[in-house]
Amino acid sequence: MADGRLDRWRARLGLPPRGPVVPVLRLVGVIGGPSVRGTGMSLHGLNPALERAFKVRGAKAVALAINCPGGSPVQSALIAERIRALAADKQLPVLAFIEDVGASGGYWLALAADEIFADARSIVGSVGVIHAGFGFDEAIARLGIERRVHTAGARKALLDPFRPQDPEDVARLKALLEEIHAGFKAQVRERRGQRLEASDAELFEGQIWSGQGALALGLIDGLGSLHGVLKARYGDKVRLPQITAARFWWQRRLGIGGRRLDAGTIATDVLDSLAERALWARYGL
C-alpha cells in the first residue's frame, strides 16, 4: 500500500499520522574476516542489511551507528563505497554517529556519510596504516630449532617471523603501507573537503582525538547522540527502525557466525579474538 493511501486510512480510523522514518544500521566491531561470534564486518556480511536500510519505504535518511576501532582497509573501502552507491541510487542523505570509537577503518566507514556526529568524548581519527607482528628467530635459535623454508619465488617468504628481518622485505612492506595510506588520505580529502581545518601533517599521521577535538579539525560536523540529533532534525515522532544482518535461527540461538566448528577454527578464532581485544584496547576499551 502506498504511503499516501495508508495515511488516509489512518486518518479515517482516527489514528495519528505516522512520524518520519530514518532506518538505523549499526556498524560495530572490527572490520575484516568473521570470527566464531560472527562480529567481523565485511561487505559480504553487511550488504543485505545495507540494501534493506536503503529500501525502507518513506525513509528521510539512513543513519549509521558506528563503534569500530578499524581493521581491513579493503573491507573498509568496499563497505563505504557500497553505502555511497546506495545513497546515490536512492537519493537519501546518510548521517553517521560515532559512539565510543570511530578510528582508522571505523573513521573510513564514517566518511561514507554526508554528515558525521560524535560524542564529545568519542575517539575519532587514526588516519594511518599499521602492520604489526613478532620476531621469533632468536627464540627458536635458543631452543635449538632450525627453520626450514623452501619457496618458488624469491620473496614468497616475505616477513617470515621465524627468520631475521630482511631490509628489502621491510622496504617493500613500508612502500605498500604508504600506498594504502595515500588512498586513505585521498578519501578523507574527497569526503571532507573544505571542512578540514588542519594541515596534512596534523591530520594524517595516525593521531586520534576526542569528538570535541575532531570537530575543531573538521573531521566531524557536530556533537550529539543519534536519537538527539535525529529528533531535533525530524521531530519527536521520528521512527528509527534497527536494520540488522539476517542470520539463520540456529546461528541466533548459538550466537555463532555459521562456520563449521572444529579444533582448527576454534583455535584460530581464539587468536582472532585476542587480536580484536588488543585493537579495542588501543583506545582504552
Q: Are 26 and 109 in contact (CB under 8 A)?
A: no
266: cell is 576454534
| CA 62 – CA 218 distance, rounded (Å) | 22
Structure pTM?
0.81
Q: Which residues contact 216 (CB under 8 A, 6 or more apart)?
A: 197
Q: What is the pLDDT of residues 249-262, one digit of tens each?
A: 444 444 444 455 45
Note the pLDDT of residue 250.
Answer: 42
Residues found in the chain: 285
82: cell is 557500497
Note the pLDDT of residue 249.
Answer: 46
Q: Are 47 and 86 in contact (CB under 8 A)?
A: no
Quote the DSSP letter at residue 127.
-
Strand ranges (DSSP E) for the chain?
Answer: 24-28, 62-68, 94-103, 115-118, 123-125, 208-210, 222-223, 242-243
Q: Residue 12 pLDDT more than 60?
A: no
Note the pLDDT of residue 156.
Answer: 84
Helix (H, G, I), strand (E, B) or coil at 156: coil
| CA 103 – CA 93 distance, rounded (Å) | 22
Contacts from 260-263 at CB under 8 Å and sequence distance 24+? 261/36
Q: Name the average pLDDT for the chain.
A: 85
Query: Which amino acid is it at 121?
Result: R
Quote the DSSP letter at residue 262.
-
Note the pLDDT of residue 151.
Answer: 86
Q: Residue 272 pLDDT more than 80?
A: no
Q: What is the pLDDT of residues 134-178, one digit of tens each?
A: 888 888 888 898 888 888 887 888 888 888 888 888 999 999 999
| CA 276 – CA 35 distance, rounded (Å) | 10
List helix spans (H) across 21-166: 43-55, 73-90, 105-110, 137-142
Place of cell 588488543: 278
Note the pLDDT of residue 199.
Answer: 93
Q: What is the pLDDT of residues 118-133, one digit of tens each?
A: 999 999 999 999 888 8
